[in-house]
Amino acid sequence: MTQNLLDLDAEALHTWFAELGEKPFRARQVLRWLHRNGEADFNAMTDLAKSLREKLLAKATVIPPAIVSDKLSDDGTRKFLFDVGGGNAIETVFIPEDDRGTLCVSTQAGCALDCAFCSTGKQGFNRNLTVAEIIGQLWQVNRLLGADPKGERTISNVVLMGMGEPLANFDNAVAALKLMLDDNAYGLSRRRVTVSTSGLVPAMDRLRDECPVALAVSLHAPSDALRDQLVPINQKYPIAELMAACCRYLDKAPRDFVTFEYVMLDGINDSDAHARELLAATRDVPCKFNLIPFNPFPGSPFGRSRAERVRRFAEVLMQAGIVTTTRKTRGDDIDAACGQLAGQVRDKTRRTAAIPIHEVRV
């Protein structure tokens, strides 16, 4: 059986090469060819001995998920649809900005957490993505986009904010993160790689210890009563427990704050009173807020908060000295905006209602 080398982070690749009887520096060479150069052809890895290339041809493969569609928004956002087999597809979004290019990566085919305002959750859940399927999104898009006019990689930032809950696929997500950070692979700064979680507290602690990167928490409500409805995992890890985990995370985080993501739902969580309650709930956590105008999708019962309401909500937070931004809606003409990623998931029944919260693994 051949080994897909995209499934291996640096440590695993070294172990695999050792099993082949090869020296560790050979693993580093191949890691650079694979990820820094985006090379899939072993014969093109010209600084490898011919005997090693022959060995790789016999025992290894490089198989990323295949791109089946590539849509370009009027604002420059690009949404890629990847085939991950078994009737499932996932979505990945590239967001270009003046000072950076951000790739939004998926970690699961669907999502079991079923947040009330998220299109991905409404598609149900089929399975976790493999390391090759997670890092393969970056590998494929990196090759496609190439370098910017300055000769630097077009993708400067990666966020695990696509389809799925990254920390519910912990081992594979962390292996992919380690490749993103490895100087022989993508060499991204920990400050430029962000994991977004709905609040799986034990996995947040593990991430802090094993691979601390920038952290974003999908909060979306200032009270347990409301968050229980909008983000059902809150029934297992309520806000006070989540805030304590955020404080613990900052002990090792590359940034000195946590970003709280907060989708603005008309008449649901967007009043001045909600903003003041939010300040009280997060008062012990060094943080900033990213307000997200709700992006509608078919069948959703929610509406987007009016611009003036969002502005006033942000004003309440900023008057308290909290850095607050409002996310620009990008790619909504191709359903690539926050909360709209749906892909195609074969099994549309495995949601939080069908998977009791106490059974969500981390």
Rounded to an integer, what distance in angstroms lies between the CA atom of residue 174 and that of residue 23? 25
**Active-site option among 22, 91, 133, 261:** 91
> Going by DSSP bridges, is the β-strand pair 214-218/193-197 parallel, antiparallel, or unpaired?
parallel
**Active-site option among 111, 115, 118, 338:** 338
Torsion sign over Cα 18, 23, 28, 31 = negative
Which spans in 146-223 are helix H? 170-181, 201-210
> Going by DSSP bridges, is the β-strand pair 101-104/157-160 parallel, antiparallel, or unpaired?
parallel
115 annotated active-site: no
Torsion sign over Cα 215, 270, 330, 301 = positive
Neighbouring C-alpha atoms within 13 Å toward the C-beta of 149: 2
Say which residue the tokens 């060995």 belong to. 55
Say which residue the tokens 């034990």 belong to. 202
| Token pair recorded at residue 98 | 């003046």
241 annotated active-site: no
Q: For residue 143, what is the DSSP state?
A: H
Active site residues: 91, 338
